[in-house]
Chain A
């Protein structure tokens, strides 16, 4: 079973920041938080991951609360191409372990 809870859907205006929440209240100390997204008819695409510190890359920022029980993925300036299903996944720090995907959040970026 997935260890995360995400809202099933969200809307965001084009050009605005999209903030996608994820609850992972049972996360263990050796589990990372990963975010993937899946655009229609494509395979999942890696976005970002983190353990306890906030992370930023060219795609997004990941904010993890101090108690690590929740996190937020931030797309700073959403575009229409960011419309996708976003998956938040917690995963042990062990090479090769599979990702357990939940249903994710369907983000619709509106013009």
Chain B
């Protein structure tokens, strides 16, 4: 079974430029998450989708960040314009509801963004 796919793996841009990250979740997983991980810290949630609906975007800096999951499968996270402090690893994860009340999230390899 293929895991969560993310691209690109690495991205270097200058500040004020736009950037976009793409995620393809595990087939059949209806829940998709975007996390940001700063150097030396654990990942922090940015947004969660249930199918195509963003059900938790409270931690997403909406002035410059946007995300979409138009057909409830792939997702794109965008930053415009990027700032120096946006340098981090952006992780995508997915999960599926099973008969149990809990779930396991599976993470992709992440996109390492460097803003110069």
Contact B42 A103 (CB under 8 A): yes
**Bound CA–CA A101/B104 (angstroms):** 14
Query: Does any Cβ of B come within 8 Å of A80's Cβ?
Result: no
Q: A43-B91, A87-B42, A101-B43 are known contacts. Are A95 and B97 too (CB-CB below 8 A)?
A: yes
Which residues of chain A have C-beta atoms less than 8 A from B85's C-beta?
Answer: none
For residue A37, give the distance in angstroms from its CB to the closest CB of chain B. 11
Stretch at the interface among A12-20, A21-29, A44-52, A59-67: A44-52
Query: Does any Cβ of A come within 8 Å of B75's Cβ?
Result: no
Which residues of chain A have C-beta atoms less than 8 A from B45's C-beta?
Answer: 98-100
Which residues of B come within 8 Å of A, CB atoms?
4, 31, 33, 35, 40-45, 48, 50, 55-56, 91, 93, 95, 97, 101-110, 112
